[in-house]
C-alpha cells in the first residue's frame, strides 16, 4: 500500500488507537477487541515490550483485512528503523524529529509528527510530515488549538492526549482532522476486568465521530 493511500485511510477513519501495554502478551488481546469494536488504524508504541515483534505479528494476522498497524512513540531514527523493519505501515512521534520523516518517506511510509508550537508545526510540515499530532492536546487546551489552527488552517491535525467521550465532538468541531485515543479505550476493561467493555467504548467513540 502506497503512502498516499495510507494517509487517506487514516484521515477517513479519524480515530487512531494507541496501544501501550506493560506486558507483551496483552497486545494481541487488546488489538483484537479494538478491531472488533470497529477501529482500523492502530499504533503499537515502542515502549510496549516486544513492540516490533507484535507489529510483525499483527501485520500477519490482519493481512487480509483493511486494518492498518503502525508504530507509536517513534522518537528517533533507531526506533524508526526497527519499526519499519517490523512492517509498520505508519509512524507516530511525540516529538518533532525531521530525520524520522526522511527515513519513513524513503520507505514510502507516512508520519504523524508530534508538534506543539507554530515553529515545530511549520518545520514538520515543510519537511514533509503527513499529519501533525498535537500532543498533549488536553493539557494545551482547545483554545490553544483554535489559536494555532487559525493561521495554519491548511494543516491536518490529529489531537492526542486528554480526549474523551465528553469532549471529542468539541475538538472535531474546532477543526481537528482526527484523534488519537489510548488509555481511555483500554482502562475501563482493566478496571472492571471485562474486555467486552472495550468494544462498547470503541463503538461509542465511532458514533460520536460520525455525528
Q: How far apart are the first and last CA of the chain?
A: 29
Name all domains of the chain by residue range, CATH numbers in brackets. Answer: 3-210 (3.20.20.70)
H or E element in which residue 181 lies: strand 178-181
Give mean pLDDT, residues 184-202: 79
120-165 per-position pLDDT tens digit: 999 999 999 999 999 999 999 999 999 999 999 999 999 999 999 9
pTM across the whole model: 0.96
What pLDDT shows up at residue 165?
95
pLDDT at 167 over 80: yes
- As to burial, measured by CB atoms within 10 angstroms (0-12 exposed, 13-18 middle, 19+ buried), residue 45 is buried
- Going by pLDDT thresholds of 50, 70 and 90, the confidence category of residue 196 is confident
Specify whether the CB–CB gap between 190 and 27 falls below 8 A.
no
Cite the active site residues: 43, 133
Q: CA separation (Å) from 153 to 14, 27, 106, 122, 208?
A: 17, 36, 27, 12, 23
Amino acid at each position: 500500500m502506497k503512502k498516499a493511500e495510507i494517509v487517506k485511510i487514516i484521515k477517513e477513519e479519524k480515530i487512531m488507537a494507541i496501544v501501550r501495554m506493560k506486558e507483551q502478551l496483552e497486545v494481541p488481546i487488546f488489538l483484537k477487541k479494538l478491531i472488533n469494536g470497529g477501529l482500523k488504524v492502530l499504533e503499537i508504541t515502542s515502549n510496549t515490550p516486544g513492540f516490533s515483534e507484535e507489529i510483525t505479528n499483527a501485520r500477519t494476522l490482519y493481512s487480509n483485512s483493511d486494518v492498518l498497524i503502525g508504530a507509536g512513540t517513534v522518537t528517533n531514527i533507531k526506533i524508526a528503523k526497527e519499526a519499519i523493519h517490523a512492517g509498520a505501515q505508519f509512524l507516530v512521534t511525540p516529538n518533532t524529529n525531521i530525520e524520522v520523516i526522511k527515513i519513513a518517506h524513503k520507505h514510502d511510509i507516512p508520519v504523524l509528527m508530534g508538534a506543539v508550537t507554530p515553529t515545530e508545526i511549520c518545520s514538520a510540515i515543510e519537511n514533509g510530515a503527513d499529519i501533525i499530532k498535537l500532543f498533549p492536546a488536553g493539557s494545551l487546551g482547545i483554545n490553544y488549538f483554535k489559536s494555532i489552527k487559525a493561521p495554519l488552517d491548511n494543516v491536518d491535525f490529529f489531537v492526542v492526549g486528554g480526549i474523551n467521550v465528553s469532549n471529542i465532538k468539541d475538538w472535531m468541531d474546532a477543526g481537528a482532522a482526527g484523534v488519537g485515543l489510548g488509555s481511555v479505550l483500554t482502562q475501563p476493561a482493566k478496571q472492571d476486568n471485562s474486555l467486552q467493555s472495550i468494544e462498547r467504548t470503541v463503538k461509542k467513540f465511532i458514533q460520536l465521530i460520525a455525528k
